[in-house]
Chain A
Amino acid sequence: MPHFTLPLGPQGPVLNAVVAVSNERSAALAAAGQSVPKPLPIRALVDTGASTTCVDPSVLTALSLTPTGIVLLNTPSTGETPHQAEQFDVALIIPAPVGPALIFRTIPVVASELLAPQGFHALMGRDILDQCLFSYNGSIKLFTLAY
């Protein structure tokens, strides 16, 4: 089972990832004679408190994405009533220091504001963790992701 281990930082389990246009959108761009935006390197926080993966709008804008979904979203700021949040289809690649990367060629993500000022651009939620084994070893300040 491919895996990697990284140090826990001050913000917790943060890792490098790459966000790109999904395979399906890439094909549509090519069919329209448009260039495909270059993939963007980001920092992502592994967040078991997020049911879905979220990406800062600045990243989605840089990829010239438009929403293809709408979902109900609860955050601490929404109170008891969830609000409608735009969903985007992207590709997400999590490179491993050694061995194969964890690759999602098409995955829906929710736009979530103000992640970048917190030092990361995405919350890697349980939709991704559902396909992984995640180990948080606080005693030696390391975390491991196997997939």
Chain B
Amino acid sequence: MALERELETYRTKLPELKGENEGRFVLIKGDQVIDVFSSYDDALKAGYTAFGLKPFLVKRIDAIEQAQFISRFTDPLALKQSA
């Protein structure tokens, strides 16, 4: 999966990021936290401005991340098994 290094950086830096930054958006490139932004759009814009089309991660800062949920079967294997 892409962005694994950036995700590991997020996990490592989360204890420093959480607290007053809860709910804000962090921009990460490699093992560097670039900045924290109040909106997703601002973080994304900063990422594309700084790194162009090279990989970078924008992630909402949550001390405990709440998983997204899809109630439909979207896994290919699950679909084949249920057919």
Contact = CB atoms under 8 A, between A and B. Distances in A.
A37 interface: no
B45 interface: yes
Nearest to A34: B53
Contacts of B44: 22, 24, 68, 89, 106
B70 A51 contact: yes
Given A69-B58, A86-B1, A76 B52 contact: no
Given A75-B75, A106-B44, A70 B70 contact: no
Nearest to B73: A76
B64 to A, nearest CB: 10
B72 A49 contact: yes
Contacts of A24: 41, 44-45, 47-48
Contact of A75 (B3, B40, B74): B74
A70 B57 contact: yes
Interface in B28-83: 40-41, 44-45, 47-49, 52-53, 55-59, 65-79
Chain A interface: which size bin? Answer: 35 or more
B53 A123 contact: no
Nearest to A64: B53
Contacts, number: 120
Interface string A61-93: 000001111111111111000101110010000
Interface string A2-33: 00000000000000000000101101110110
A113 B72 contact: no
A77 B7 contact: no
A85 B52 CA distance: 22
B40 A106 contact: yes
A31 B59 CA distance: 24
Nearest to A110: B68
A77 B53 contact: no
Contact of A77 (B65, B69, B75): B75
Contacts of B59: 69-70
